[in-house]
Every structure is written in C-alpha cells, then in structure tokens.
Amino acid sequence: MQQYEKPPVIRMADADAGSAFASGLEYNPPVRGMWNIVHMGMLVPEAHQVYACAQGCLRGVILTAAEMNQLDRLSWISLTEEDMFNGTLESSLVEGVSEIIEKLGTHPPMIPLFLSCMHLFAGCDFDSVLADLSARYPDITFVDCYMTPTMRLTISPVAQCSRQLYMGLQPLPQNPKAVNLIGCDRPTDEHSELLRIIRGAGLILHDLPLCKTYAEYLQMAESKLNIAYLPTAHAALDALEEKLGIPQLYLPARFDFDGLRENYRMLCDALEIACPDFSDEAAAADAALRAAKETIGETAVAVDYTAVSRPFELAKLLCEYGFNVKYIVADAAGEDADAFAWLKENRPDILLYSPTNVNMLHQHEKAPEPVLAVGQKAAYYFATDRFVNFVVNGGYYGFAGIKAIAELMQDAFCNPKDRRPLLRHKGYGCDSCLLS
Amino acid sequence: MKQTARIIPCYAADTSGVCAALYELGGMVAVHDASGVNSTYATHDEPRWEDMQSMIYVSGLTELDAILGNDEKFIADAAAAAADQKPRFIAVCGSPMPMMIGVDFDAVAAEIEQRSGIRTFALHTNGMHSYPEGASEALLAITKEYVLPPAETIRNGVNILGALPLDFGNPEEIPDIRVWLCKNGFSVISCIAAGDSLDTIAKAGNAAVNLVVSYSGLAAAEYLYDRFGIPYVCGVPFGGVFSQILADSLRHAAESGQPESPCTSRGTSGRSIAVIGENLIGGSIAAQLGCMGLAAHLICPLPHSDKLLMQGDADASSEEEIEQYLAQMQPCAVIADPLYRFILPKGTRHIELPHYAFSGRCFERQMQNLTGSRFDAWLSQNGGLQ
C-alpha cells in the first residue's frame, strides 16, 4: 500500500474529532447534489438575485441558475482589476444594479445582492451601496448577501446565506398561532413528529421552502417562535432574534431515540402543550431498522457527511442495530462529537475517508467490496449503485425520519440505481435541464 | 455598463482555460483559490471530469492565510501533493483573491520546483478574464517547455493547436479533425492538447505546418513559427467548401513557409448572418457561409486576434454591446449558443449552436460535430440559410 505524505484514510481509532486529516490541496469529486447559495437564494419567491464578483466565480452561480431553468431570476456584474483600484467599487455596484433593474422591466420585491471576497478585502462600503439603492428604489428590499468562500472559517457560506435570506423580513405584530421553521432548504417530512406536534397544536407553520409568494415570505415575521434543526441555521436564529425579537428553539436532527424524546419535550414546553407519546413511532423506527438489517445483512455500509448533518450519530445508530458500518466519509465531527467518540472506542476499525484529499482522486476505481452507501459522496467513492440518494437529511426528521432512512437503505440495497445521472444533478431536489 | 448582464451567462474563466489545456498531459494543476473556481471548472467547464481523472486541485485558501500572506501553506501543500501524486509537471495559477493579496506565482513555482524536484511553472490567471487567455498561456508554456527542436521535418506532418473541449464540446469533433487531416494527405504529429501525451507533443517540432483551431492555440503557433519556422494556418474544417479551402491553405503554407488565415474570408453580398462565438471557430463558420454566398460576420465576445477579425466583424463582449450590434446589423439569422436567445432582436431567426464554454452542461447532448460536410448537413437540418 502506498505511503502518502497526506493519507486520505484513517482508522477511527486514530482519528481526531476536530480535524481528522491534514489540510492540503483539495480534490473536487463529480458529486453535485449539495446546494449552493444560488439554490438557496431561489427559495425566496419572486426575488431576483444579483451577483457582483469576478468572472471565474460568476460562472458557477450563473450556470447553477441556468441548469435550474431559472436564468431569468439572476443577473450579474463582473469585476475587473481596475474596479479594485480606481475608487469606483461602490458606485459601479450601484450603477450596475440600477441598470439591471431598469432592464428587468418590473421591479422584483427583493434583491439579494451578493458581494465577493474581493469586495471585503477591498473595504467596500456595502452599507452605502444598499442605502443608495434603497433610496433609488424604495419599492425594492435590498439584502446584503455574500459569496465569500475565503471567509468560510469565520462563517460557512451556507450558514451565512441562510441567515441573510431572512433579512428581508420586517417586524409584524406577533401571531401567537404561528411558528417558523428556519434554515431548511426543503420541506420537512409531514409525517415527522416535529410537524405533527406543530400542526396538532393548531399552529400556522411558516417555512421558507413552503412559501409560494413574497407575501407569504414576509408573513414569517409574525411568528412567535423560530424552530430549527440544522446546524447551519444557528446564525439565522440569532439574527432573527436580534432583528425581530423572535425567540429560538434548536432541536437538532438526531439519530438517537432519547435525544429525540428530549427534543419533543422541549418543543412542547415551548408551545405550552402536552407532549404526545411517540412510543409507536419509536417502535416503528426500531422495526424499520431491524428489517433493513435483516435485508442488508453483513454488506458493508458507508455513510457520508453530505447525506445527514450528523453522520457519526447515524453511523453509531446503525452500528447499534448490527449494521456492518465500515466506512465514513467526513473530515471532522460537528455536533455529533459524542457519537464520534463512541465509534472511536467501540468501532475503532471503521475507516474514515477524507472527502477532498487529493489522494481520493482514484478512490472510486478501487472499491474494496460491495457497499451500501448513505449519501452521494459515499456512493461515488465506493462506486456503488446501491445508495440512498439525498442531501442534508432530505427533509427527514425524528422517528419517522429514522424509519424513512431505514426503508430507503433497504430499498437502495434491493433496487440499485444508475448513480451517474443522479450524482451529476446539481442541487438535489431542484429542477434541472440535465434531466429533460 | 460593459460589465453587467441581465440574463446571459459569462464565458468560462482563464483558470478554466489553464486546467482544460493541461488536463490530459499528466501534470498537476494547483489553482490558488478558496474553492469556487475549481468547483465551477469541474462542474460546468470540463466534460472530461467524470470519466478521465486529472490532477486538478484547489488550494483551499482561507481568510487567515490570505490576510497573513501565508504563501508557505500553498507551497508546502503543492509539494506534498506532488510527492503523493508524482505528476510530470506542476502548474500553479491564481484566482481573484491571490491577485488582491499580490501572490508572486513565479516565486511560488520556483519554491515548489525546488522542494519537489518536479518542473513547475506559473500561469498568470486571476479569474477575471476569459478562458482563451489562460489556455493560450498554458499551451504556449507547454510548447516552450516540451517541444523539442525538429529532428526531421515530416513533409506532410501537421500539429493541431488549440483543441479544447471548451470549444469542441462534441467528443467526436477533435478526432474527426484528425481524420479529416489524414484524408487530405496529412499526418498528424500531435494535437495540443487533447488526445496526446507530453511525449507525443515533444515531437511537434517535426511538423511541416500547424493547424490552429482556436485562438487558444495561436500563441503556441506563433512561437513554433518564430522558433522553428513552422508556418501555421488558422481555421477549422467546417463545411465542404471551406474545408477544402483550409486543406489547400495547409498545403500552400507548408510549401511557402508563411502563415495563412483562411478563416478571415467573408462574403460581401447575400443575406446577412451573425455568428456569435470564438474567434477562429466562429470565423470559420462565417467563412464557410461566405462560400455559400452569404454575408456572414462574427461577433466575438472573447479574447481574439485583431488580425483575425474582419471588417463587419465585432468584438462586442458584453450583453449590452452584443444587443446593440445585433440591433444595428439586423441579421436575417444568428448562429449562436442557445442561451443567447434572450437578447436576440425580436423575430430574428436563431440557429442554435451550443458552445460548452458558454452554456456548460446545459446543452451537452446537443453539442455538434461540424467537421467537413457535417456542417452542411447540420445547417440543412436547421432549415438552411439559402
């Protein structure tokens, strides 16, 4: 076996939860299901995104919109070297956006204006840009957004975009019968206990992916409580609490039965309702996991970080049900550091693979054995058509979510699918011209 | 404003040009960037990415390294990757942020070469220009580095210069240009840079003439002309008539030793047609249409050679300029990528010709192979222009 300066794989026993792999040059595997900021920006109905950045960065966002068949909802301003040094950084932004608005014909209700790393490093006065634009076009809400991947250690692009997309909300009188789900990029499964509790309490649920009109989006400001379950939603929860005074409740998407019960208790306390007994739902999840194990048997299982927000917690759950989890594709543990520690101690031989290490370039050509994958990157790297195809939990949550994922694993095992067209589809769940 | 677009895409950037030019040569390309440039290239600009692995990587520049000017991390990471991957060469290039912080890529390349013992060179991109600039510099660098002085001149030997999937999105097109050359009595020495290895490219100096099929190959062709006296001919064999003219031009240039540019031929009468696209490719289409009795002109939104734009052609590069030129020209038809549909004058006939460097994967199944008489058949299938 080749000895690498920067190995792409490590035993769980030897891995550090905070950073399992030495950083280095990065490889980009042909796996495109994860959403980017363009996909997210399209969630705000009727909004028109404008990106101001260099051509190399623009191209990816423009073609994201093109592949979504939504090119008419995005415009751009390209930056040149001169823009950085001739003192017109702000004025060219104002003039460029104004020109785009004039060409659009009708004014969109909201323009998320995305600035780049270059603007930040050049000291662009974004406040003045927004003030000037707002004065010119008082009927349009301009929201500062950021395509600043260089700053990703300060805040991830997804978390930042998720936060900014709610900044178009303006205070409304509180509606005691309304709550928000915050930070989701797709509707949450209606069978989940989370939604059943909310709907069972007779509450109105606002959720950005469910908004059909800009007016519905604005109505989110009336809610009495913001609920989130993805870690990328924290910044949005904090910002909304500060701007609109809406309290927050974080109920992480867990793969741990006790943790879920605790989530539901917290939710019901916040809503001041009695907590339902979800024993039947827990039993159904348990049964689904056992059935999946029965079908999948000793086949090796690989889990990756794009599929679920807590990959180590899902791996732990699967191990507890006897699944032969042998591979995990992830760089580090996030909120599931406890599960990471459990695996390290109880499943030390699980192999942890880096998603981006340069030595993963040919990994897909040397799949060690038949694998059932949970997630697109695991499917690619282990070259398997037996895989569960979704990203970021796929809208699944709770016992119902665990049951659904177990059933999807069973289905993936029994019904292989051609991974190539699925993995190259940019933005899982979005429309794509590649499919037509 | 020249830099603003309401709806049409921008073309692939210079960094993508570098990566595409070097893709098949066994080298490693390290793009100094946070992430987006490489992701964009791999997703939208490189049709080979899924089926042919290449050592194209990104540095993953962070705010801390940018602010502190920590070039050492990039240098060390590139050297480590090279130790693991053992490339034939290393190329480093940059994106907007390294430009902002003034990274000296020549110095970085020298450091990496010293540590890795592998030939390393810098390509001076910043993600703010179009792909032909990056590809042009990369192909020139490869030519300078690896093409050996001619051991013997092969009388009918020819190199193809500037062959990139960004311009030739149909995977059959470049192989078919090889076939076309062979059918016309030529022997292909090398194709720079698609389908041939560095070892093959090293023999390019033995050619009697070079066929330049895109602006990206022009600088390399000029170098080979200046250095070894190999003449070049600019054009792509599109259409039965123009292909014959091009073949004759290749023979003539090989005899005379002088460069020729048949792709600059234009019809002066007949119906007015606009072709929007790459300098030599669009020019060759316009030339073939001229052979058909049409007054076709090129709108080239990309880096180009002024010598290869003729009277009536335009170097309009922005959405606004292209709209203005079309409004003024009032062509009967426009041959252009499908995503230009949004800005064509109302009622103007649009003959859609997908260009990978513009619309990426969106029309990948409609990428055309227009070599030789296939162009005529394609045009006929699209209703013809007579």
Residue A86's pLDDT is 86
Using CA atoms, how far residue B224 sits from B144, B203, B210, in Å, is 9, 12, 9
Q: What rounded mean pLDDT belongs to chain A?
A: 96
Select the residue from B128, B166, B337, B339 to test the A interface by mutation, using most A Cβ atoms within 10 A: B128
Query: In Å, how far is A215's CA from the nearest CA of chain B?
Result: 25
Q: What rounded mean pLDDT belongs to chain B?
A: 97
Domain contains B134: no
**Domain shared by B213 and B165, yes or no:** yes
Select the residue from A83, A92, A150, A158 to test the B interface by mutation, using most B Cβ atoms within 10 A: A150
Residue A154's pLDDT is 87
Looking at chain A, the whole-number percentage of residues with pLDDT higher than 90 is 94
Domain that includes residue B242, residue range: 146-262
The 10s digit of each residue's pLDDT in B331-379 is 999 999 999 999 999 999 999 999 999 999 999 999 999 999 999 999 9
Q: Which residue among A4, A56, A433 places its CB closest to the CB of B362? A: A433
The 10s digit of each residue's pLDDT in A269-304 is 999 999 999 999 999 999 999 999 999 999 999 999
**Is there a contact between A59 and B12 if contact means CB atoms under 8 Å apart?**
yes
Domain ranges of chain A: 9-23+279-435, 37-164, 178-271
Residue A427's pLDDT is 97
pLDDT level of residue A355 (50, 70, 90 thresholds): very high
Looking at chain A, the whole-number percentage of residues with pLDDT higher than 70 is 100
Residue B276's pLDDT is 98
HEC secondary structure over chain A: CCCCCCCCEEEHHHCCCCCCCCCCCECCCCCCCCCCHHHHHCCCCCCCEEEEECHHHHHHHHHHHHHCCCHHHEEEEECCHHHHHCCCHHHHHHHHHHHHHHHHCCCCCEEEEEEEHHHHHCCCCHHHHHHHHHHHCCCCEEEEEEECHHHCCCCCHHHHHHHHCCCCCCCCCCCCCEEEECCCCCCCCCCCHHHHHHHHCCCEEEEHHHCCCHHHHHHHHHCCEEEECCHHHHHHHHHHHHHHCCCEEECCCCCCHHHHHHHHHHHHHHHCCCCCCCHHHHHHHHHHHHHHHHHHCCCEEEEECCCCCCHHHHHHHHHHCCCEEEEEECCCCCCCHHHHHHHHHHCCCCEEECCCEHHHCCHHHHCCCCEEEECHHHHHHCCCCCEECCCHHHHCCHHHHHHHHHHHHHHHHHCCCCHHHHHHCCCCCCCCHHHC
Domain contains B359: yes
**Domain shared by B221 and B276, yes or no:** no
**Domain shared by B151 and B256, yes or no:** yes
Return the structure tokens found at B362: 């969106």
**Domain shared by B54 and B107, yes or no:** yes
Return the structure tokens found at A97: 């956006």
Residue A358 has pLDDT above 90, yes or no: yes
pTM for the whole structure: 0.97
Whether chain A has a CB inside 8 Å of the CB on B361: the answer is: yes
Scanning B55-94 for CB atoms below 8 A from A yields 55, 57-64, 66, 73, 77-78, 80-81, 83-85
Burial of B251 (0-12, 13-18, 19+ CB in 10 A): middle
CATH number for position B72 = 3.40.50.1980
Residue B2 has pLDDT above 80, yes or no: no
Q: What is the C-alpha to C-alpha distance for residues A57 and A279, in angstroms, rounded to an integer? A: 50
Residue A1's pLDDT is 58
Domain contains B141: no
Query: Of B129, B155, B173, which one is at a domain's C-terminal end?
Result: B129
The 10s digit of each residue's pLDDT in A184-194 is 999 999 999 99
Whether chain A has a CB inside 8 Å of the CB on B317: the answer is: no
Residue A126's pLDDT is 95
| Count of domains for chain B | 3
Could you tell me which residue, A85 or A101, shows the higher pLDDT?
A101
CATH of A9-23+279-435, one of 3.40.50, 1.10.443, 3.90.320, 3.30.1560: 3.40.50
Nearest chain B Cα to A419, which residue? B50
Mean pLDDT of A401-418: 98
Query: In Å, how far is A299's CA from the nearest CA of chain B?
Result: 27
Query: In Å, how far is A358's CA from the nearest CA of chain B?
Result: 7
**Domain shared by B93 and B108, yes or no:** yes
Looking at chain B, the whole-number percentage of residues with pLDDT higher than 90 is 96
* Phi, psi angle pair for A94, to nearest 5°: -65, -45
**Is there a contact between A56 and B128 if contact means CB atoms under 8 Å apart?**
yes
Amino acid at A269: D
Residue A83's pLDDT is 87
**Domain shared by B150 and B96, yes or no:** no
Q: Are A128 and A94 in contact (CB under 8 A)?
A: no
Q: What is the C-alpha to C-alpha distance for residues B79 and B57, in angstroms, rounded to an integer? A: 12
Mean pLDDT of B16-42: 95
Residues of A in contact with B34 (CB under 8 A): 117, 149-150, 152
User: If you ran DSSP here, which 8-state letter would residue B9 be given?
Assistant: P
Q: What is the C-alpha to C-alpha distance for residues A156 and A232, in angstroms, rounded to an integer? A: 8
Where on the phi/psi map is residue B70: left (φ > 0), alpha (ψ -120 to 50), or beta? beta
Nearest chain B Cα to A58, which residue? B10
State the helix-helix crossing angle for A257-271 and A279-296, rounded to 10 degrees: 150
Domain contains B7: no
**Domain shared by B243 and B318, yes or no:** no
**Is there a contact between A66 and B362 if contact means CB atoms under 8 Å apart?**
yes
Q: What is the C-alpha to C-alpha distance for residues B34 and B45, in angstroms, rounded to an integer? A: 18
Residue A435's pLDDT is 85
**Domain shared by B193 and B97, yes or no:** no
Residue A436 has pLDDT above 70, yes or no: yes
**Is there a contact between A56 and B14 if contact means CB atoms under 8 Å apart?**
yes
Domain contains B2: no
Return the structure tokens found at B354: 């997908």
Query: In Å, how far is B308's CA from the nearest CA of chain A?
Result: 25
Query: Of B262, B277, B294, which one is at a domain's C-terminal end?
Result: B262
Domain contains B8: no
Query: In Å, how far is B9's CA from the nearest CA of chain A?
Result: 6
Residue B381 has pLDDT above 70, yes or no: yes
Residue A153's pLDDT is 83
At the second CATH level, the architecture of A178-271 is 3-Layer(aba) Sandwich (3.40)
Whether chain A has a CB inside 8 Å of the CB on B101: the answer is: yes
Return the structure tokens found at B210: 């070079």
**Is there a contact between B1 and A59 if contact means CB atoms under 8 Å apart?**
no
Select the residue from B3, B48, B85, B356 to test the A interface by mutation, using most A Cβ atoms within 10 A: B3
pLDDT level of residue B91 (50, 70, 90 thresholds): very high
**Is there a contact between A55 and B10 if contact means CB atoms under 8 Å apart?**
yes
Fold match, A37-164 / A178-271: yes
Residues of B in contact with A362 (CB under 8 A): 53
Residue A84's pLDDT is 83
Residues in Cβ contact with B41 at an 8 Å cutoff, skipping those fewer than 6 apart: B12, B15, B16, B19, B20, B31, B56
**Is there a contact between A28 and B11 if contact means CB atoms under 8 Å apart?**
no
Domain contains B137: no
CATH of A37-164, one of 2.60.120.10, 1.10.20.10, 1.10.3720.10, 3.40.50.1980: 3.40.50.1980
**Domain shared by B328 and B230, yes or no:** no
Residue B35's pLDDT is 85
Query: Of B242, B262, B282, which one is at a domain's C-terminal end?
Result: B262
Residue A407 has pLDDT above 70, yes or no: yes
